[in-house]
Amino acid sequence: MSDSYAIEPQKINSLPIAGSAQRFPVARIFCVGQNYAEHSREMGHNPDVEPPFFFMKPHTAIVSDGRSFPYPSISTNVHHEVEFIVAIGTGGANIPEAEALTHVFGYAVGLDMTRRDLQGIAKKTGRPWELGKAFDNAAPCGAVVPVAQAGHPTTGSITLSVNGEMRQNGDLADMIWKVPGTIAYLSTLFELRPGDLIFTGTPAGVGAIQRGDHLTGAIAGLGEVHTDVV
Q: How confident is the model over 134-180, as pLDDT tens digits?
A: 999 999 999 999 999 999 999 999 999 999 999 999 999 999 999 99
| Cα gap 41→127, rounded to integer Å | 22
Pair 210, 100: CB distance under 8 Å: no
| pLDDT in the model for residue 147 | 98
Inside any domain, residue 7: no
How many CB atoms are located within 10 Å of the residue 89 CB? 17
Pairing, β 197-199 against β 207-208: unpaired
Q: How confident is the model over 172-181, as pLDDT tens digits?
A: 999 999 999 9
| pLDDT in the model for residue 68 | 98
Inside any domain, residue 2: no
Inside any domain, residue 5: no
Query: What is the pTM (predicted TM-score) of this model?
Result: 0.93
Go through 56-67 and write b for each residue having 16 or more CB atoms within 10 A of its CB, e for each that does not.
bbbbebbbbeee
Inside any domain, residue 67: yes
Inside any domain, residue 169: yes
Please give the tally of structural domains in the chain: 1
Inside any domain, residue 205: yes
Inside any domain, residue 46: yes
Instruction: Name the more confident of 104 and 9.
Output: 104
Inside any domain, residue 1: no
| Cα gap 72→136, rounded to integer Å | 8
Instruction: Name the more confident of 85 and 33.
Output: 85
Task: Compute the average pLDDT of residues 26-55.
Answer: 76
Q: Which of the four pLDDT bands, split at 50, 70 and 90, describes residue 42?
A: low
| pLDDT in the model for residue 219 | 98
**pLDDT for 49 beyond 60:** no
Range of the domain at 97: 14-228
Q: What is the CATH number of the domain that holds 64?
A: 3.90.850.10
| pLDDT in the model for residue 31 | 97
| pLDDT in the model for residue 39 | 53
